[in-house]
Structure 1
Amino acid sequence: MTFVTRLLARPVAKGWGRSGWVPAALVFAGAVAVFLWCGVSVRDVAAFVAYVGGAVALPGTLVWRALAGGGRSPAEDVAAGLALGYAIEVLAYIPARAVGAPLLVLVPPVVVIGIFVAVPGLRRHWRGDRSGERMPGWCAWALAGVVGYLIIWSTIHLYRVPVTAAYVDMPYHLALVGEVKNHMPPTMPTVLGERLAYHWFVYADLAATSWVTGIEPVTLVYRLSTLPMTAAMVVLVAAIGRRAGGWWGAGVAAVGVAYFLFGPVLHEDVVFPTRSMFTAWASPTQTFGALLFAPVVLLLVGGRRPWAVLGVLLLALTGAKATFLPLLLAGLVVVMAVQAVRRGPWREWVGPAAMTSGCLLIAHVVVFGRGAHGTVVAPFATMRDLWGVVAGVGMPELASVSAVPLLVLTVVHLFCLACVWGGVAGLGRRVLEPPVLLLLGMGLAGIGAVVVLGHPAASQLYFLEGVRPYLSIAAVCGALAAWRPAVPGGMVALGAGGALLAWVVEVPGGPLVRVVVPYLVLGVAAAVVAWRRRHVLAVVALLAGYAVPASAWEVVGHVLPDEDRRERLIPAGARAAGRWLREHSAPGDVVATDLHCRYPQWRTCDSRHHWVSGFSERRVLVEGWAYAESTQSRTELFVTSYLGVPFADPARLAANDAVFRAPSAENVQHLAQKYGVKWLFTGLNPKLGRFAQLRFRNGTSAVYRIPER
């Protein structure tokens, strides 16, 4: 470790090469250029930067420095401060929106900034701790490179993609922003009256941003919002790695493992999930929750307990992404148990555990209404899904598959995880240190959740994604603990050999044989190396080498264009029709539509249809119901897909659709009187004009107003 530390501690270049501000400025300028190139106006970019920088990051950073003691670099302070600022913003917006004055969300930042200007003893926090350690320039450049890669990936797969052809869940996110922007408490915008048992706090951030800046929600969802969260998360992973590993090189290595190392893929189309971090915009709830969670881990690993900061972050996590709370609680329980057995200071961990338990209870009762949103105890559900791909078994036969192949696939899955995080085997006595125990406890809980839990949309995998950074940090710490100056050349050779072996190994035979035997070959090779070399790093290098080919393909694949795969399922005139409806209706108006299925020609309805509500920012009587609690909770795992579950209220759906299929004065007025429907949104339907007033029409969409009686 001493050799590597000295090597990386050398200045990369004189002057600007040492400064962390230069790479940060380049990334910022690149991001601005990308957004302008992708159609975001100068006004919107400037307003977004001013709001996130001045009303979220700045007050959050000041409070972080005052209460948490600041970090080891300005980048760490700003990243943690941004997370804290988001938490404060969301917790302020909820009551502000509830009383009908959403702009009151600006009160906390104004008060914080005013206090830190007026109070002499607090003014030093504007500068930060100049006596502390600074992030080395080479580290700043490395992290800037990671963020730059994520910008390129996002540009290719989202920013440059037309709104009508973006990822399937983007209209769902847009609909939730419109709901939280106009209503509190929110409900499911595409199913009138349905409880929103979902992680929705990130949409409160986007709604607050839209209210303050005037930026359209569609611009925030499809372009601007998640990039600051993604960039700050990269910095915080490095900062936690620095805390746990003792030097900035550990932080950079942890970022590399977390973002760019994936399990080996030895069979076409069969991937044992090690869960990529590349869900930044596809799952803004995961991105937002991960960002709020990282400063909590940073504080606990660093041994600090600023209770007010921990309380705000944990409370915000209840609705940001509550899946992080059981992971944290598991890690804290492991720390307390081991410390108690060793007669160590375990009581200092009771406070964080109690706070986490209380917030978990709040999330379960208040946010989710005691519902599980389809998550159930279903051992080996992840591998059952994979077996369906391996053996070509569909539903409902998949529900009765023997446990034997599932157990075998689970063992292979754990082997794949070891290829990514095998470094934890080198921790030695460090495994007893509370910060390392915390990381490992959370990691084991995430892996256990993937093995034990099931969900109709495989959402149990988010538990594994949630702990990916912390397992990566633990693995890097283990590799450093086992490091010896004489082994670098041999490790490189073993890693290269492992990559070559993983690239060429292939076995013919039945489905289970074709999938399992190549991994068995790799496992045997690792066992031989462990027996002959008798050094943990030799095995770790070989296992990591197995992961290199698939990782390289994954990383390169995310920055390759995919024009041919984009589905344009939203009509060209839909956005204009939705915007017209928003401008000519009240937030409380109810809309009815006959648009429910993404693929109308299919026999079963893929009800992930949300763009009517998304573009209009209005509640819809029945649009898409795939993500509703009433759908997810009725889905029987491996018997039927949640996409094929019919709507929970057939009578309402029949009354709704009758208006569009066979309109009459009676059924149109029935919707108005029973459900409060005022508007009808559909395609071109001339028959409706006899019973409702045509108010808007373009080449693909029409909006009708139901006359009052």
Structure 2
Amino acid sequence: MERPTSAAPTSAPARRKPPAWAPPAVLGVLVLIGLAIYGVPVWTTAIFAGYVTLGLILPGMLLWRAVRGRPGWFVEDVAAGLAVGYSCEVVVYIGARSIGLPLLTAAWPVATIAVFLLVPGLRRHWRRTDRAEEKTPFWFSAVLSGSALVLFYWSVIRFFRTHDLAEPGMLSPDGDSPFHLALLGDAKHHMPLASPWLPEQPVLYHWFVYAEMASTSWITGIEPQVLLLRLSPLPMVFGFLVLMAVLGKRLTGAWWAGVAAAVTTYFVLTPTPYQWRLDGWFSTFGTNAYEDGSSLRAQMWTSPTQTFGAILFAGLALVLVDVLTVANRKRWGLVVLLTAAVTGGKATFLPMLLAGLLLVVAVRLLTRRRVHPGALIASGIAFVALLFAQFVLFGGAAQGLAIDPLHFAQISGASYTAEYAMPNLGSTWRLVLVALITFACWACIWPGLIGLARLARRRRPDLTISADPVILMFGIGLSGIGALVVLGHEGGAEGWFMVSGRPYLSLAAVVGLALITPADVPKRRMLMWVYGAILAGAAALVVVHEANPKWTPRPSTVGGPAHSAFHLVWPYLAVFALLSVAAYVVHRSSFPAKGTAYASLLAGVCLVTTPLHLYETTREANHTGWRGVVQYEPFIPKGTKDAGRWLRDHSDPSDLVATNAHCVITSISPKDKCDNRHFAFSAYSERRFLIEGWGFTNRTHEVAAATGTNAVEAPYWNEQLLADNDAAFTAPSAQTIGKLRDQYRVRWLFVDEVRAAPAPTLGDFAQLRYRAGEIAVYEIR
């Protein structure tokens, strides 16, 4: 009998890799559910997502591809397309709103898509790239999607749960959100904008984000409040995260560098070894013990101008990477478009961009004895934009910004909470000590900057690093730090320079890290050491954090400022001592990428602050509630939203309104002072008021400077107007009401019946039309 022959061995079937689109799809479903829990119907989110996709990303991506000449890496095309789409939308909306046809804004995406469908030479830009090196790895997509999910969760626990869309939660938001909503309402109905709470004052501010949201509201029909507090910032935040990853990949050619850039931008924070809780404002907004410029704070929602400006500027930075490395005239059109959008989106970026470009010009002159033409042209564009922003958009106003070195040290979270370096103490050495601690923290965040010393050496074949774009990023980030150190603002606005520049310093640090990381180390060994070093660094911080007492080391409780200084410094000395032990272990090892291991140790120290933040805030949410949390005493009168929307629906946008409420009032408000940040009435009515409040205007800052008072308590300067306005409510008569109608052209009265109760005879001279909660609306005939 013949023995059966064994079958030839067959190779195991290749394991199918998960698709790169799966993580973003999961993210989208989770975001949809989360928004539904926090008051946004699924259908509303779907409409918004459809508009962002078809009205912004798609036409912007087609234009991006046409300028670059071909379809590229899909992730890059989508993220850059969003920035281009935002820029086009704002420019078109300003023109359409100016001629009274805001819905005409919808024509630009329709026309763009039609042109790319009908013109044969442009149809190729609909195709995806077939280049293998531009296919997104699953792990890259998963890490970015996971990072975006963390940002969404952060938004929920830091913002959504304390900023409800309905009463009572909506009655106690942060002080800035009504301000933003009021300007958004004005952008829906007027161009140019005025301060709707005080129309005599122009908007000398970064206002393009309000035009963007107003355009979205017109086209989708979604309420401005829902856009501001739930929807519109999300694609900006996610898009900026992706653009940081794209820039990291483009600057180095390494996928891991893209992930490192995105993670560093948001999650590598100032190491905080203190266990004691920071002062209420710092805890509420998620800032850290010492200023680090991180975007992981509630201001990603409470400052939509910064959030919008960040994604526009990231798109501009991506274009400039091309301009500085490849000659292509078409790309200058995108440079001009995105620079124009940044000018009105967040002009804070412009002087930093100019500094970065001039640094490129200077380095090229010093090293090659010739000018970089692209950098020089871009510098000219940035300079013109800066002049336009300062003297046209902002009217030359300083808005309270001044030369005040180390002011940031006075208002850093730890020093302010410990009452160690506050303005009234007047001790320079205290400020210097806080600044030195801050600088040490920065060294932990960006150790990779040391690797930039290798930038001028022979190129490595595994990296595609061009020096000029890296120098640009370094210059942008360094100028942000310089502005933080030199400038000061009573509201801490100098910190926005740091927030704006930090991502680009992080990009430069990632490039430096790539330069010191050898290419010949086996991947598994490299990951083992990197993850181990990160865990060791994190452990060092956690050990010191748990050993730290929970009481705040104020000078009055620890025996004076010297003892307080010791309690501020010793935790960092302890952390660095533990890190030295770990670094010695690395030094004695045979691991060839020792520089990478040292940087990973410091990264662990900084990264662990993020989960500590998330843990503390989650615990607070479990204690105080996950929805509708009234974080402060309510200061918006009940019924404001309903009465405001009734007035909006029954009046003309040109109608002028008067009110008897001008000051934000709570049970602890000083009787002799007026918090002039009263914006809620104009915010929810989308109407201009004769005088509601006078906060956040340039004239208020000038009065504050002249009288030596805080800007939020500065008095109103036109006493006659205020008297005529208030007389109609305190002493209503045919004369007082008639003066509002005939001299000031007031048509409606929006009355707070509790905090500033009017005379009971008001109804004899004006017709009551609507009442909700504590608000009554009267019409003057």
Common fold, TM-score beyond 0.5? yes
- For the residue of structure 2 that corresponds to 1:591, the secondary structure is strand
In the other structure, the counterpart of 1:499 is 541
Instruction: Answer whether contact 1:322 1:363 (CA < 8 A) is retained.
Output: yes
Aligned residue runs from structure 1 range 250-649, under 5 A: 250-267=257-274, 268=276, 269=278, 271-278=289-296, 279-302=299-322, 303-304=325-326, 306-343=331-368, 346-386=372-412, 387-391=415-419, 397=424, 401-430=426-455, 433-484=467-518, 485=521, 488=529, 491-492=533-534, 494-496=536-538, 498-500=540-542, 502-503=544-545, 504=547, 510-520=563-573, 522=575, 533=587, 536-537=595-596, 539-557=598-616, 561=621, 563=625, 566-567=631-632, 568-601=634-667, 602-603=669-670, 604-636=673-705, 640-649=709-718
Distance 1:289 1:637 in 2: 32
Aligned residue runs from structure 1 range 232-243, under 5 A: 232-243=239-250
Instruction: Answer whether contact 1:72 1:134 (CA < 8 A) is retained.
Output: no
In the other structure, the counterpart of 1:118 is 118
Distance 2:469 2:583 in 1: 28
* Pair 1:636–1:272, CA change in 2 (3 A): farther
In the other structure, the counterpart of 1:162 is 164
Distance 2:447 2:717 in 1: 46
Distance 2:175 2:71 in 1: 39
Deviations 1:561-581 (A, max 9, x none): 254562333233111100111
Aligned residue runs from structure 1 range 63-102, under 5 A: 63-69=63-69, 72-102=72-102
Distance 2:28 2:536 in 1: 39
2:234 paired with 1:227: yes
* Pair 1:524–1:334, CA change in 2 (3 A): farther
Bigger mean CA offset, 564-573 vs 305-314: 564-573
Instruction: Answer whether contact 2:182 2:684 (CA < 8 A) is retained.
Output: yes
TM-score, L = length of structure 2 = 0.83
Deviation at 1:500, TM superposition (A): 4.4
- For the residue of structure 2 that corresponds to 1:702, the secondary structure is strand
Distance 1:527 1:628 in 2: 51
Distance 1:297 1:502 in 2: 39
In the other structure, the counterpart of 2:722 is 653
Deviation at 1:497, TM superposition (A): 5.4
- For the residue of structure 2 that corresponds to 1:635, the secondary structure is helix
Distance 1:669 1:99 in 2: 33
Bigger mean CA offset, 378-387 vs 360-369: 378-387
Distance 1:683 1:505 in 2: 49
* Pair 1:621–1:513, CA change in 2 (3 A): farther
Deviations 1:385-421 (A, max 9, x none): 34554336766x35xx132222222122111111211
Distance 2:475 2:751 in 1: 51
Deviation at 1:54, TM superposition (A): 1.3
Deviation at 1:167, TM superposition (A): 3.2
Deviations 1:236-264 (A, max 9, x none): 11100101232111111111111111102
Distance 1:253 1:439 in 2: 15
Distance 1:527 1:30 in 2: 42
2:773 paired with 1:693: no
Deviation at 1:550, TM superposition (A): 2.9
Deviation at 1:69, TM superposition (A): 4.2
Bigger mean CA offset, 291-300 vs 474-483: 474-483
* Pair 1:663–1:375, CA change in 2 (3 A): same
Bigger mean CA offset, 254-263 vs 540-549: 540-549
Instruction: Answer whether contact 1:206 1:217 (CA < 8 A) is retained.
Output: yes
- For the residue of structure 1 that corresponds to 2:678, the secondary structure is coil
2:136 paired with 1:135: yes
Distance 1:35 1:546 in 2: 33
Instruction: Answer whether contact 2:449 2:508 (CA < 8 A) is retained.
Output: yes
TM-score, L = length of structure 1 = 0.91
Instruction: Answer whether contact 1:96 1:103 (CA < 8 A) is retained.
Output: yes
Deviation at 1:607, TM superposition (A): 2.5
Bigger mean CA offset, 520-529 vs 285-294: 520-529
Deviation at 1:675, TM superposition (A): 2.4
Deviation at 1:89, TM superposition (A): 0.6
Distance 2:265 2:708 in 1: 35
Instruction: Answer whether contact 2:517 2:595 (CA < 8 A) is retained.
Output: no
Instruction: Answer whether contact 1:102 1:208 (CA < 8 A) is retained.
Output: yes
Deviation at 1:382, TM superposition (A): 1.1
Distance 2:135 2:606 in 1: 33
Give the AA of the match of 2:379: A
Deviation at 1:130, TM superposition (A): 2.4
Instruction: Answer whether contact 1:35 1:159 (CA < 8 A) is retained.
Output: no
Instruction: Answer whether contact 1:502 1:549 (CA < 8 A) is retained.
Output: no
In the other structure, the counterpart of 2:10 is none
Instruction: Answer whether contact 1:446 1:466 (CA < 8 A) is retained.
Output: yes
Distance 2:539 2:230 in 1: 42
Deviations 1:637-687 (A, max 9, x none): 996432222223333223323332333333222223332222111123433
In the other structure, the counterpart of 1:106 is 106
* Pair 1:127–1:72, CA change in 2 (3 A): closer
- For the residue of structure 2 that corresponds to 1:391, the secondary structure is coil
Structure 1: stretches of 5+ with no match in the other structure: 1-12
Bigger mean CA offset, 128-137 vs 452-461: 128-137
Q: How many residues align?
A: 691
Distance 1:528 1:152 in 2: 35
Instruction: Answer whether contact 1:158 1:223 (CA < 8 A) is retained.
Output: no
Deviations 1:570-603 (A, max 9, x none): 2331111001111111101111112223324411
2:222 paired with 1:148: no
Instruction: Answer whether contact 1:264 1:502 (CA < 8 A) is retained.
Output: no
- For the residue of structure 1 that corresponds to 2:396, the secondary structure is coil
Deviation at 1:496, TM superposition (A): 4.3
